[in-house]
Structure 1
Amino acid sequence: MGTTFDTLERTPVTPAAQPDPAKLEAFMGKMVGDMGAANGGALVILGERLGLYKALAEGGRATSRELADRTGLHERYVREWLSAQAAAGYVEYDAEERTFFMSPEQVMALADENSPVYMASAFHLTASVYMDEPKIAEAFRTGEGVGWHEHSTCLFCGVEQFFRTGYRAFLVQEWLPALDGVVERLEAGAKVADIGCGHGASTIIMAKAFPNSDVVGLDYHEASIERAREAAREAGGPANVRFEVASAKDSPGEDYDLVTVFDALHDMGDPVGAARRVREMLKPDGIFMIVEPFAGDSLAENMNPVGRLYYAASTMICTPGSLAQEVGLGLGAQAGPKRLGEVLAEAGFSRVRVATTTPFNLILEARP
């Protein structure tokens, strides 16, 4: 029988030692800051959805009335939103003129969708975590998984928007060139499979960058494949890209020059089996490119803001997703290069190396 909230609330907890007043004050300050950030995520979504950031960035400094007029929104709501954003440091406030404005850095992160550090729309992922918390709480009790398809639809959009920023900035410019001989093959005309493609951001980027190559995006989630096909049409309908519904272990086709998995191998219940299928799909000289969340090989190495973000996502999304599938290995989003290398070696890859990294990404190259 599970413990109820009321029982927890009424049961006294005696600290092992008396708290240090200064440390307690500092910790409470941290908690208040975290609560402000957690609540403020909804305001970022509002700012992105309602065009408030864009209007402030493009039109320059403004009072709440002026920004309300620019956006056609109610001034009283805009005033409170601006005040919260200024207190959070997401916009600037001139106390003498009583106007609000955005620094170049804030514009890049919150108003420019083509920026390599754009983050505003990724807060939809954060919203999905709160929506799905009851499902994850039950999974804690039962040990069962929560499949990707069982999450709020906010998750699918949020994940795409969070990772797409990095894909746009680095995939063609840095990650593919870090793989030996891959760019030359793609330029000449290669056969590429993008497994676990989701909404197709990575697939479309590769297809547009290398029009001589044939690129197929594969994902078991039918709704995501439908959205990927729509995204391809919005991107001009490249003739060299297509999308199919297929699980990783049932991915169709052979003789691929390049197979990619972007931020999805750790989500799979049987990543060894999926990687083994990739090996079967590749030409003898083919290449498997794995993009994973950046991580070190130990918990101690991941005690930082990026590790904090990814461990939270792993608790709420990645680990439950893996446990919902056959095998249920539960690698987690912070597996690290050593553990990932072990998975790939077990799948039959003899040569595995870290090709390059970013603060958010770990890019591995594996060859048969």
Structure 2
Amino acid sequence: MGILGGIVGVRILRTIARDLPKRDFVEEETESDATDRKIESAFGGRLQAALAGKTVIDFGCGDGQQAIAMARAAPDCRVIGLDIQHKHLDRARQRAEQAGLENRCSFAMNTEERADVIVSFDAFEHFSDPLAILEIMSKLLKPDGEVLVSFGPTWLHPYGGHLFSVFPWAHLLFTERALIRWRARFRQDGAQRFGEVEGGLNQIRIAEFERLVEASPLTIDWLETVPIRGLSILRHRLLREFGSSLVRCRLVPAHHRDTKSTQEKAEDQLNS
């Protein structure tokens, strides 16, 4: 994808973008109430009721801010934060101790414990193998559990290229090679593809996410898209790929959804 490449493409990028966008840098620590508001917005206010009294896995917990926010939102829940980077886990443990929540928030690279709820926040556009992640999640979930997912913007959104979106849809106009060469002026980490930059970008689209879930042991109970503010028309299925700032959904084990459907049909027959 992309039509502007080579030396010409790189020179254009270096002219219009002399530095990396701020969104490429590690986010500054935010106040706890700001994190709370961000999570509440991401899940449409559904999270607190879903977590009450539950064992929760925060899949891709980063430095622990969201895990701590969830523990505060539902005082009787217990949160296990999972991440693959030791530096994040160390910082998360420090945060939990500072917040006085070390007894209800633990952090590790993996766990054998099954959860009532798995939460994935701002991560599915970064996983190198989303299908493998869905399979791992299904193994970590109790038979009647649920996965709550929120991520975005997705790839075809004006800023779906994250740091590569130096202006709307720049990540689609320029070739991957040109964008990587431009980035190399600021980050000498050897990345050659979008998926190799810090955090990774897998270029996922909404329809692709739905196909991956269909191929996994999980199934979509509900899915909704949140369009660019003020443009509700972008909720339409034909336009959602280009205007969805956020995708949020509830996934359940496929067998659980099938059982639920059978029960609902039986109830319908009894009521008819």
Q: Same fold (TM over 0.5)?
A: yes
Q: Contact 1:208–1:238 (CA<8 Å) still a contact in 2?
A: no
Relative to 1, partners in 2 of residues 1:168 and 1:227: Cα closer, same or farther, differing over 3 Å? same
Match for residue 194 of structure 1 among 53, 58, 76: 58
In 2, the alpha carbon distance for the partners of 1:278 and 1:322 equals 24
Between structures 1 and 2, the one with greater strand share:
2
Paired position in structure 1 for 2:140: 281
Q: Contact 1:267–1:321 (CA<8 Å) still a contact in 2?
A: no
In 1, the alpha carbon distance for the partners of 2:152 and 2:34 equals 11
Match for residue 348 of structure 1 among 217, 230, 233: 217
Match for residue 232 of structure 1 among 89, 92, 96: 96
Q: Contact 1:220–1:245 (CA<8 Å) still a contact in 2?
A: yes
**Alignment deviations for residues 261-301 of structure 1 (CA, whole Å, 9 cap, x no partner):** 222233223221221121122222211112211237xx4xx
Paired position in structure 2 for 1:357: 226
Relative to 1, partners in 2 of residues 1:238 and 1:282: Cα closer, same or farther, differing over 3 Å? same
Relative to 1, partners in 2 of residues 1:307 and 1:364: Cα closer, same or farther, differing over 3 Å? same
In 2, the alpha carbon distance for the partners of 1:307 and 1:267 equals 11
Q: Contact 1:267–1:322 (CA<8 Å) still a contact in 2?
A: no
Q: How many residues align?
A: 206
* CA displacement at 1:227 relative to structure 2: 0.8
Point out which structure has higher relative CO (alpha carbons under 8 A, 6+ apart): 2
In 2, the alpha carbon distance for the partners of 1:309 and 1:197 equals 19
Relative to 1, partners in 2 of residues 1:281 and 1:308: Cα closer, same or farther, differing over 3 Å? closer
* CA displacement at 1:243 relative to structure 2: 0.8
Paired position in structure 1 for 2:162: 309
Task: Provide the secondary structure at the position in 1 that maps to 2:144.
Answer: strand
Unaligned residue ranges in structure 1 (runs of 5+): 1-7, 14-27, 42-122, 127-154, 325-329
Match for residue 207 of structure 2 among 316, 319, 338: 338
Paired position in structure 2 for 1:16: none
Relative to 1, partners in 2 of residues 1:335 and 1:215: Cα closer, same or farther, differing over 3 Å? same
Relative to 1, partners in 2 of residues 1:268 and 1:307: Cα closer, same or farther, differing over 3 Å? closer
Are 1:252 and 2:112 matched, yes or no?
yes
In 2, the alpha carbon distance for the partners of 1:239 and 1:344 equals 34
Written as runs of structure 1 = structure 2, the 5 A alignment for 1:208-223 is: 208-223=72-87
TM value normalised by structure 1 = 0.47
Structure ID, larger Rg: 1
Between structures 1 and 2, the one with greater helix share:
1
Are 1:320 and 2:185 matched, yes or no?
no
In 2, the alpha carbon distance for the partners of 1:346 and 1:331 equals 21
Paired position in structure 2 for 1:267: 126
Q: RMSD between aligned alpha carbons?
A: 3.8
In 2, the alpha carbon distance for the partners of 1:167 and 1:339 equals 29
* CA displacement at 1:161 relative to structure 2: 5.0
Are 1:171 and 2:19 matched, yes or no?
no
- Which residue identity lines up with residue 112 of structure 2 in the other structure? P
In 1, the alpha carbon distance for the partners of 2:48 and 2:154 equals 26
Paired position in structure 1 for 2:49: 184
Q: Contact 2:152–2:246 (CA<8 Å) still a contact in 1?
A: yes
**Alignment deviations for residues 186-207 of structure 1 (CA, whole Å, 9 cap, x no partner):** 23x0010011111112111101
Written as runs of structure 1 = structure 2, the 5 A alignment for 1:1-368 is: 34-35=16-17, 38=19, 123=22, 125-126=23-24, 155=25, 157-158=26-27, 167-172=35-40, 175=43, 177-178=45-46, 183-187=48-52, 189-237=53-101, 239-246=103-110, 251-254=111-114, 256-295=115-154, 299=156, 302=157, 304=158, 306-309=159-162, 311-312=164-165, 319-321=194-196, 332=202, 334-355=203-224, 357=226, 359=228, 360-368=245-253
In 2, the alpha carbon distance for the partners of 1:263 and 1:174 equals 9
- Which residue identity lines up with residue 194 of structure 2 in the other structure? T
User: How much identity, in percent, do the aligned residues show?
Assistant: 21
Relative to 1, partners in 2 of residues 1:204 and 1:257: Cα closer, same or farther, differing over 3 Å? same
Task: Provide the secondary structure at the position in 2 that maps to 1:266.
Answer: coil
